[in-house]
Amino acid sequence: MESKVAQTWLQAMAATANAKDYEAHMDLISKNVKVFGIPDFDVITYDAWAAQCRHEFGQNILKQVSYEGMKVLVNMPGRVMFKTMETIEATDGTVNTMAVEIVLEKETDGKWRVTQERILSPEETALDQNRGGY
């Protein structure tokens, strides 16, 4: 069940980002979210994520977001943790592909939202890919 939730959530993240639908996109993200693994930042919070999306959507910087593959690591009622490959393409032609580990939780309003995201190091990504990828 939760792996289906994760797949549906990934599709919604890509669709809302690609449509530049700020409200729908941010509704997929918990107010308590923490993002780790971004160089030069200790942790990214909801407010920083919201500001980045507002800027990228408003300035038409983001061209396309996509996800490829998914490997569920933890699957329990109300919580799922998985890894996936995220590709972000900017309108200037820049493409950034990275492995991410995502934790989704079912919040009190019944919606599934990301509560934690970790950008994986190149070394961890290579190790995972040698073990069969995502």
Residue 39 scores a pLDDT above 90: no
Query: Domain 2-130 is in which class?
Result: alpha beta
Query: pLDDT by residue (tens digit) across 4-21?
Result: 999 999 999 999 999 999
Going by pLDDT thresholds of 50, 70 and 90, the confidence category of residue 31 is very high
pTM: 0.93
Q: What is the DSSP string of the chain?
A: -HHHHHHHHHHHHHHHHHTT-HHHHHTTEEEEEEEE--TT-S-EEHHHHHHHHHHHHHTT-EEEEEEEEEEEEEEETTEEEEEEEEEEEETTS-EEEEEEEEEEEE-TTS-EEEEEEEEPPHHHHHHHHHTT--
Residue extents of the structural domains in the chain? 2-130
pLDDT digits (tens, 9 = 90+) for 64-102: 999 999 999 999 999 999 999 999 999 999 999 999 999
What pLDDT is attached to residue 52? 94
Average pLDDT in the chain? 94
Instruction: Check residue 1 and give its pLDDT.
Output: 56
